[in-house]
Amino acid sequence: MMTPFEIHLIVHGEIGWFLTRRNNTADLRLVRDRRASLKDTLEALGLPHTEVGRLLVDGVEVGFHHVPVHDCRVDVHPVEPPLDVTRPSMLRPQAWGKIRFLVDDNVGRLAGLLRAVGADALHVRGTTDSDLAARCETERLILLTRDLGLLKRKNILFGRFIRATEPYRQLKEVLTVFGLNPPYNFFSRCFLCNCDLKPVEKETVSHRLKAETRCYVSAFSTCPSCKRLYWHGPHVRRMLGKMADAGIDVSGASPGLGKGMIRGD
C-alpha cells in the first residue's frame, strides 16, 4: 500500500467556485493515498478540465497528465478570455482550424442566438452524453453546457460551463470567452438548421408570400436545407435591442434589419 502524501492545491480566479461548492475553500491541503493525474484530481473535486487555462507545479507549467508528488504546490488558473482554439497550448496541444459549437439541450436557446450573429452552432436533441462527447471529438466542436459531468469526459477538448442563465447574457458570455468580436454577420444562418442562407429572387418565391409582404419586401434568402424563407422585417429589432442590453455590439447591423420566416414547402 502506498504511503499517504500531501499536496497543496490552490485554485485561482472565478473557477474557485467549482471547489467552494463542496469544500468551502479553493486553497486545499490534499492527502493522497494513490497516484493520480492532475486532471483526475481536479475533476474529483468538481472542477472540469475545460475550465482550466494553466497548471503550475512548483512554478513549472505542466499538462493535465502530470502526476503530483509529496509536498508539491499546484496552482490552477482559469481560462483567460479570449480562448484561441486555433493556438496550441500546454494543456491543449491540438490546434483547431475554426470555431464551431455544439450546444447542449440545457442551454438550447443559445444555439439560435449564436446563429443570429453568424456563428456555427449545432444543437442536437435527444442524444446521449457519450454521443455528444464523441461528436465533439470527431467534428472538433466546442461544447456549451451546464452539465458538469459531461464536461469532464476525456474526449471533450474545448468546452464551457455556461454561467449565465438568461439566453442573451449567455450569448455575450460565449462571444467574450471565445473572442468572437464584431462586426458580426447578423441573420446569415438558418435559425433551425444552422445552414448559411442563400439569396433568392423574389419572383421564385412570390407564391409563398402574403400580399403585404409581396408589396413591401424585395430581398429574400432561403435555407438550402429546410427551404424556410427569410426576409427583412420589423420584429428582429427586438432581438437586436436585447443583444445591446446584454452588452453586445450591434452597430454592424443594418438599422432596418429584420427577419420574417415561413415554413418552406
Q: What is the pLDDT of residues 173-223, one digit of tens each?
A: 999 999 999 999 999 999 999 999 999 999 899 889 888 888 888 889 999
198 grid coordinates: 442563400
Query: What global pTM score does this model have?
Result: 0.93
Q: Is 44 helix (H, G, I), strand (E, B) or coil?
A: helix
pLDDT digits (tens, 9 = 90+) for 14-40: 999 998 877 778 899 999 889 999 999
Q: What is the DSSP track for 42-71?
A: HHHTT--GGGEEEEEETTEEE-TT----TT
Tell me the pLDDT of the chain averaged across its residues.
Answer: 92
Give which of 97, 114, 93, 12 is closest to 55, Cα–Cα: 12
Look at 47 and 126; give whichever has higher pLDDT.
47
pLDDT digits (tens, 9 = 90+) for 75-128: 999 999 999 999 999 999 988 889 999 999 999 999 999 999 999 999 989 899
What pLDDT is recorded for position 264?
Answer: 44
What pLDDT is recorded for position 257?
Answer: 52
- Mean pLDDT calculated for residue range 129-149: 97
Angle at 21 between CA 20 and CA 25, to 5 degrees: 15
Residue 141 reports pLDDT greater than 90: yes
What pLDDT is recorded for position 95?
Answer: 82
Radius of gyration of the chain (CA): 23
Residue 155 reports pLDDT greater than 60: yes
What pLDDT is recorded for position 38?
Answer: 98
CA 135 to chain centroid, in Å, comes to 15
The torsion angles phi and psi of 198, rounded to 5 degrees, stand at -120, 135
- Domains of the chain by start residue, with CATH: 5-78 (3.10.20.30), 101-177 (no CATH), 198-262 (no CATH)
Q: Which are the contacts of 175, defined by CB distance < 8 A and separation ≥ 6?
A: 117, 181, 248
Query: Sorting pLDDT into bands at 50, 70 and 90, what band is 265?
Result: very low
